[in-house]
Amino acid sequence: MNQFPTALITGASAGLGRALSRSLAEKGWRIIGTARGAERLDLLRDELGPTFVPVVGDVTDPTHRGKLIDPVRQFGRLDLVVNNASALGPSPMPRLSKYPLDELTKVFEANVVAPLAVLQLTLPQLRASGGIAIDISSDAAVSPYEGWGGYGSSKAALDHLTAILAAENPDLPVYSFDPGDMRTAMHQAAFPGEDISDRPEPETVVPALLELIDRRPPSGRYIAADLLSGAAR
């Protein structure tokens, strides 16, 4: 059996997913990275080499999700799943009183249903390797920001889903991870026309994720700033 640790990262082509893929590759991990952007995934494969296996597609598509298990079988193990892919919803972000319900459905499909579907698919492999699962959350899940009703409520649902999954699987570390504000394309879409250059780059958050992966505290919700300061709860 392949002894290299293996990670499956959704939304791997940009932002936090790309930054984490790079850091794990430097540590000797093999990464199965999925995202909708074929060109950016190919660039990351060219950069990281054979340790990175791109699987182009949309995690809300059941057929695509089914393809993710093929490279897992190829590597012979799965040690980490990071559900990082997210949908912001319409930009500019509408108030809930005028939120298009078809768009809200898409946000929940991407941010709640797809992460659960990925974990339903991979839990047996994670358990076999003694692995861990991480769902990427947001401070919008716990703070009621005006205009963030669609995205924030979906992340609140993801938090609760993750907590219940942890309760139902006490042998498997399962985490919600709140990275805080980052300078990403999605965050820019949330503030169209505004300068977000004061937000930290995703690379600055990766050490907090690595702390979670390496230390494996009890299942729960963790905030990047707390992990980086050594005050994780």
d(CA 122, CA 7) in angstroms, rounded, equals 11
Structure tokens at 192: 């169209």
Nearest-CA neighbor of 89 among 113, 108, 107, 114? 107
Spatial neighbors of 148 by CB under 8 A, at least 6 apart, are 93, 140, 190
Catalytic status, residue 151: yes
Catalytic residue among 99, 145, 151, 175: 151
Contact 176, 221 (CB under 8 A): yes
Positive or negative, the Cα torsion across 121, 60, 218, 130?
positive
Q: Which residues are catalytic?
A: 151
